[in-house]
Amino acid sequence: MSPLFTKSMSPNSLLLLLTPMFFAANCKDPCVKPFLNEAECKALVDTDEAIEIIAPTIELRVTDFQPDVVDAGVSFEGTVYGKGFEEGAMVQIGERNFSTTFVGEGELRINANPMDTGVYNVTVSNPSSVKHTLYEAIQVGSLTDSVTETCEDVTLYFELNKDTLTAESEQAIFKQSECWMRNNVQLRLEGHCDERGTTEYNIALGQRRADAAKRFLLTQGVVESNMRTVSHGEEKPAVQGSNESAYQQNRRVEIVQQ
């Protein structure tokens, strides 16, 4: 601008001339967020009306919840971490709402009542109505089947004076051996005989029958340390009687869980 032109102007005239230039220059950067939008900024060139400058909004964000695994049916204390939290914020776990203790804009604490088993989202709601959700933030209880598996005892039957397993006896072991192994069951293999024969003979035969069952269990993967054998001979009959029906039921090995 020419010095001569400047000197010939009054102060008020100079101010009117320079004001649009000042605001136009500031449209290049100060008008960019978070202050003014482009249209409002350009409007300053043609008006002297004051425009309110709005402070930037703090973003609400939930980043973590601890503990992230709790027992079902038990009250617990929880801490929500993130940013942009406000005093008076509420925490929602699943469908249930909890009031909070405000620690800071990045931390809230809650005392939660017992909850059912499941995986839940955690949502923080500020008094200003802004919300944010951290999905699958907490697991309550175990999600696996907690029912204890029940294995069965097995009785194996033998032919007269025999200590060899029948096909039916092997099949009976097949059905239960995996259950015994999964549950690391301790087994007692009790050998029995019918009343015929001497006591010494029947004790020895009962032991051979128990040992035969043990050998077959070893082939199925049951560890030897989980098995103990014993022979009762004819001393513990399953059925009283001196006939073939009673004899058949007494020639046996009972596999009993300890």
User: How is the chain split into domains, by residue range?
Assistant: 3-46, 61-140, 154-257
Where does 61-140 sit in CATH, by number? 2.60.40.10
Contacts of 168 (CB under 8 A, 6+ apart): 157
* Per-residue confidence (pLDDT) for residue 6, from 0 to 100: 47
Contact between 109 and 66 under an 8 Å Cβ cutoff? The reply is no
Average pLDDT, the chain: 84
pLDDT of residue 146: 45
What pLDDT score was predicted for residue 47? 54
Length of the chain: 258
Reduced to 3 states (helix: H, G, I; strand: E, B; else coil), residue 16 is helix
Please enumerate in sequence order all residues whose Cβ is within 8 A of that of 136, keeping only pairs 6 or more positions apart, or say none: 119, 120, 121
Q: CA 119 to CA 141: how far, in whole Å? A: 9
State the pLDDT at residue 153. 96
Summarize pLDDT for 26-75 with one digit per residue, the tens: 444 445 444 455 666 566 555 555 555 555 556 899 999 999 999 988 89
Look at 252 and 14; give whichever has higher pLDDT.
252
Mean pLDDT, rounded, for 201-205: 97
Q: Report the pLDDT value the prediction gives residue 149, as an integer from 0 to 100.
A: 73
Percent of the chain predicted with pLDDT > 90: 65
Provide mean pLDDT across the span 141-164.
Answer: 83
At 133, the pLDDT band (50, 70, 90 cuts) reads very high
Return the CATH superfamily for domain 154-257.
OmpA-like domain (3.30.1330.60)
Average of per-residue pLDDT across 146-159: 84
